[in-house]
Chain A
């Protein structure tokens, strides 16, 4: 008889959670109990310790009718509020004429052809999400639909040490054009763990954009995994601004399955205190004639730490690929640090790839120049930091969102640009 050695850590983590009943979630649960939480010996977790998560005793969320103060975070008249992974229809506002929105449990979602198909079976956090999410959201954009309005998902965490598994499945139809905004708000949650999994299928000739704004609470942790599949001639953009959260890990995995695709990833991280922000991106160029561009900027103060890992794979027959990557970092304090790692694996020969990584302090001469014109040191620093992350913020191309970022910057860091 074969026995599996179960990890004690995982067992105690799952202790008290119900065993799921439907086959999709049960399968994920069974994989999960054979897995263990990553350690710094795992290549992709080398600089991020998840002890804060794995050693916590979480509870699963319960339906709430609590009032949430979210007005200030709303950037669109189409929005869905999700509290601890559970949809709050009573606080949401949308009409389904443009985005088709469905709320489904695991059983409902598992009937969809591509649902759960592209996720990594070895990844603890995706399996955890699949095993325990209660309410998934399915968003479908019709073929040829061009939607000006953005759909906003407002994820709110609430309560103490709640494990929220937010699950999103997006299907951007052929030749459609649309974008969504994902805001992660701490609200009154403490020591909560937000575990998000978003699957996106971008069909041929479609344009799809995700704008992420992460402003969690000081004690909350989150792992957000976006799994994207791009069809022929499609364009996918994802912008991520991280302003708060004790531990934030973003996994963006993009499979470029179609030719003539464009892929853009922009990120800005403003860190302070003992925050840890880790962005892992992975662009898999499987076919020829594609373009990808990535630009991540970190500004780290206090004892905050950052990780940037930008992986680009150009498969053997994927010729004529242009892949660009840039990571710039400014350390505002002697105690802040960043680990930056570009990972280019190129198996084709007609490929243009470039990557650049810079880490430094604010330019002292520039600082003095501004001061010598009458600007206080504090404001001079802000001006330089704003200029540094400015190009990332501009990629949001939406004044309402930019204003929200400003507001959150003011709230979390006491300044704006």
Chain B
């Protein structure tokens, strides 16, 4: 079996201010070369999982561990997690007026390179990378150089997330509802982009609550997250079953 890239064990997390527990003993193991889909009803804690893995403030991990490629992520700041190879495509990408999309990416890449003790990327190489990667998700080169997400349509924001993923070449990517708000053409483009970026050395965790995306990006595993835990794991056929039957049967089954 290929090596474990992400190992989440018995993860318990709560909202810091309210002490409200959201994740209640979640386990997830992701190996190199795998695609995992996490599905589940609204409010189940999917985005919370992504936020906790990425290190967002406001959540407290009360129990459990998260390791990436052998590193304890919980010890690291958000930027260090990214430097170790974690990527999060946000469900709601934020608009940052006045900050140029490519300038900030260049800063990010060079910080990451410095962290890894590699040489900074030259302006020329960087620009050719921008050209190549923006083509991958058919992101207008003009958008690439505008302020981060400012005035972008919903679909453009999602494509910009995948463009950034392409630029940063992460080991483990969480894509949080990257399919929502996309029409079918945009969905195909984004999915094709993700498939191209996927290889035997990295892994993708897709968070979605539509089966639709999984027609284009075929998952190796489908997990159902409900009430803060993975309550069921299966292959891609589980997604079809969920599409048909919804989630109630799983939560009820558990209640028995």
A binding-site residues for B, Cβ under 8 Å:
363-366, 368-377, 379-380, 383-384, 386-388, 390-391
- Once the chains bind, are B77 and A371 in contact (CB under 8 Å)? yes
Say if the beta carbon of B79 comes within 8 Å of chain A: yes
- Once the chains bind, are B98 and A375 in contact (CB under 8 Å)? no
Contacts A370-B108, A372-B90, A374-B168 supplied; 10 other A-B pairs, CB < 8 Å: A363-B94, A371-B78, A371-B79, A373-B105, A373-B164, A374-B79, A374-B112, A375-B111, A383-B99, A383-B107
Which residues 7-46 of B have a CB within 8 angstroms of A? Answer: none
- Once the chains bind, are B57 and A364 in contact (CB under 8 Å)? yes
- Once the chains bind, are A387 and B108 in contact (CB under 8 Å)? no
Return B133 CB to nearest CB of chain A, in Å.
Answer: 14
Return B124 CB to nearest CB of chain A, in Å.
Answer: 21
- Once the chains bind, are B108 and A373 in contact (CB under 8 Å)? yes
A-B complex: 6 closest residue pairs judged by Cβ atoms: A387-B98, A374-B82, A371-B78, A373-B108, A374-B108, A374-B112
Contact with A along B40-78 (1 / 0, CB 8 A): 000000000000001111000000000000000000011
Contact with A along B102-121 (1 / 0, CB 8 A): 00110111011001000000
A387 to B107, CA, bound (A): 14
A364 to B94, CA, bound (A): 10
- Once the chains bind, are B98 and A391 in contact (CB under 8 Å)? yes
Chain A residues whose C-beta falls within 8 Å of the C-beta of B54 in the assembled complex: 368, 372
A364 to B96, CA, bound (A): 11
- Once the chains bind, are A375 and B99 in contact (CB under 8 Å)? no
Question: Which of B57, B109, B111 is A376 in contact with, Cβ under 8 Å?
Answer: B111
A375 to B111, CA, bound (A): 6
Say if the beta carbon of B83 comes within 8 Å of chain A: yes
- Once the chains bind, are A387 and B96 in contact (CB under 8 Å)? yes
Closest B residue to A388 by beta carbon equals B98
A406 to B93, CA, bound (A): 30
A222 to B254, CA, bound (A): 72
Chain B residues whose C-beta falls within 8 Å of the C-beta of A384 in the assembled complex: 96, 99
A365 to B95, CA, bound (A): 9
A383 to B110, CA, bound (A): 14
Say if the beta carbon of B88 comes within 8 Å of chain A: yes
Return A299 CB to nearest CB of chain B, in Å.
Answer: 13
- Once the chains bind, are A377 and B79 in contact (CB under 8 Å)? yes
A377 to B77, CA, bound (A): 9
Question: Which of B78, B98, B115, B148 is A372 in contact with, Cβ under 8 Å?
Answer: B78
Say if the beta carbon of B154 comes within 8 Å of chain A: no
Chain A CB within 10 Å, residue with most, of B77, B88, B107, B148: B107
Say if the beta carbon of B234 comes within 8 Å of chain A: no
- Once the chains bind, are B104 and A370 in contact (CB under 8 Å)? yes
Say if the beta carbon of B181 comes within 8 Å of chain A: no
Q: Is the interface of A mostly helix, strand, loop or mixed?
A: helix
Known: A364-B57, A368-B78, A379-B107. Is A373-B98 also a contact (CB below 8 A)?
A: no
A369 to B55, CA, bound (A): 11
Say if the beta carbon of B97 comes within 8 Å of chain A: yes
Known: A373-B168, A376-B79, A377-B79. Is A387-B57 also a contact (CB below 8 A)?
A: no
Chain A residues whose C-beta falls within 8 Å of the C-beta of B82 in the assembled complex: 371-374
Chosen A-B contacts, 21 in total, with CB atoms closer than 8 Å, are A363-B96, A364-B57, A365-B94, A369-B96, A369-B148, A370-B104, A372-B54, A372-B56, A372-B90, A373-B105, A373-B108, A373-B164, A373-B168, A374-B82, A375-B79, A375-B111, A377-B77, A379-B111, A380-B79, A383-B99, A388-B98
A368 to B77, CA, bound (A): 10
- Once the chains bind, are A387 and B99 in contact (CB under 8 Å)? yes
Closest B residue to A390 by beta carbon equals B98
Chain B residues whose C-beta falls within 8 Å of the C-beta of A369 in the assembled complex: 90, 93-94, 96, 148
Chain B residues whose C-beta falls within 8 Å of the C-beta of A383 in the assembled complex: 99, 104, 107
Chain A residues whose C-beta falls within 8 Å of the C-beta of B79 in the assembled complex: 371-377, 380
Chain B residues whose C-beta falls within 8 Å of the C-beta of A380 in the assembled complex: 79
Closest A residue to B165 by beta carbon equals A373
Question: Which of A368, A379, A386 is B56 in contact with, Cβ under 8 Å?
Answer: A368
Return A390 CB to nearest CB of chain B, in Å.
Answer: 5
Return A367 CB to nearest CB of chain B, in Å.
Answer: 9
Chain B residues whose C-beta falls within 8 Å of the C-beta of A366 in the assembled complex: 94, 96, 99
Chain A residues whose C-beta falls within 8 Å of the C-beta of B97 in the assembled complex: 387
Chain A residues whose C-beta falls within 8 Å of the C-beta of B88 in the assembled complex: 372
A370 to B96, CA, bound (A): 10
Chain B residues whose C-beta falls within 8 Å of the C-beta of A377 in the assembled complex: 77-79
Closest A residue to B149 by beta carbon equals A369
Chain A residues whose C-beta falls within 8 Å of the C-beta of B81 in the assembled complex: 372
A368 to B94, CA, bound (A): 10
Return B210 CB to nearest CB of chain A, in Å.
Answer: 24
Return A389 CB to nearest CB of chain B, in Å.
Answer: 9
Return B94 CB to nearest CB of chain A, in Å.
Answer: 5
A366 to B90, CA, bound (A): 12
Closest B residue to A389 by beta carbon equals B98
Return A328 CB to nearest CB of chain B, in Å.
Answer: 11
Return A23 CB to nearest CB of chain B, in Å.
Answer: 53
Chain B residues whose C-beta falls within 8 Å of the C-beta of A391 in the assembled complex: 98
A364 to B16, CA, bound (A): 15
Closest B residue to A368 by beta carbon equals B56
